[in-house]
Amino acid sequence: IASIRDQSLMPVDTPSEVPLPSIQVEELFKCAIESRPDYRQALLLVEQRHLQLKFDQNQRYPQIDLKGTYGYNGIGRDLSKSIDIESQRWSMGLAVRIPLPDQAGEGRLEGSQLQKERALLQLKQVEQLILLEVDNAFEAAQITYKRIKATRVATRASREALEAEMTKLRTGTSTSFVVLELQKKLADAQSREIRALTEYNISLAELHKAEGITLPENDIELAK
């Protein structure tokens, strides 16, 4: 640690500037609905509650079963004499079951209906949450992207001012103090530009998260 204590650390690269997608927020919302796992989970819960409700409703209907039997009747003294064409027997019939109204069945049906309504409400809440997250993330990305341009203009102006003052210094019409001040202003402007780039990349990552596309955007595939 002592050997690098007085060393200057210079970054080898700067944060990348990925252009903001030129699409409407409605398209981002549609993408989020198709990709977000929390929405798909809520949708699957609605389907499960719907199937349970249909099952409980079907239990109230009459049930008719067709039944049939076929076999041999053993009437001889040994097996060979018992199994012949004369001893074959078959039968057909219908079994009808008519469920009687009961409080337990009505309670299960009412409970299934309430569970489905609750699942639909949760699905709507997830949908509204996704819309809010996508809208906020997209707005934040737009703001930080504009900030990059503003800081870049300030950096260019500071650099031009420093170059002009360096020319004056070489001709003897300026002082080292003024040059140092302008160098400090240029360093501050560059720092603000890098900070704006960093904040933009963070907001872009938040937008990808809100869309549910973080993994594909980073070329990451889940093992199946």
pLDDT string in tens for the chain (224-residue length): 556 666 766 666 666 666 776 778 888 899 899 899 999 999 999 999 999 988 888 777 777 777 777 766 655 555 555 555 455 677 777 777 776 667 677 788 888 999 999 999 999 999 999 999 999 999 999 999 999 989 999 999 999 999 999 999 998 888 999 999 999 999 999 999 999 999 999 999 999 999 988 887 777 776 66
User: Positive or negative, the Cα torsion across 13, 193, 191, 203?
Assistant: negative
Q: Are 186 and 155 in contact (CB under 8 A)?
A: yes
Single-letter amino acid code for the residue at 72: Y
The pLDDT score that the predictor gives to residue 72 is: 60
**C-alpha span between 216 and 224 (Å, rounded):** 15
**C-alpha span between 191 and 197 (Å, rounded):** 10
**C-alpha span between 159 and 189 (Å, rounded):** 9
**Residue 29: both structure tokens together:** 């919302």
- Where are the alpha helices (H) located in the chain, listed in sequence order? 25-35, 37-58, 79-82, 103-171, 176-211, 214-217
**C-alpha span between 146 and 84 (Å, rounded):** 95
Neighbours of 20 (CB within 10 A): 16
What is the length of the chain?
Answer: 224
Full-prediction pTM beyond 0.85? no
DSSP 8-state class, residue 205? H
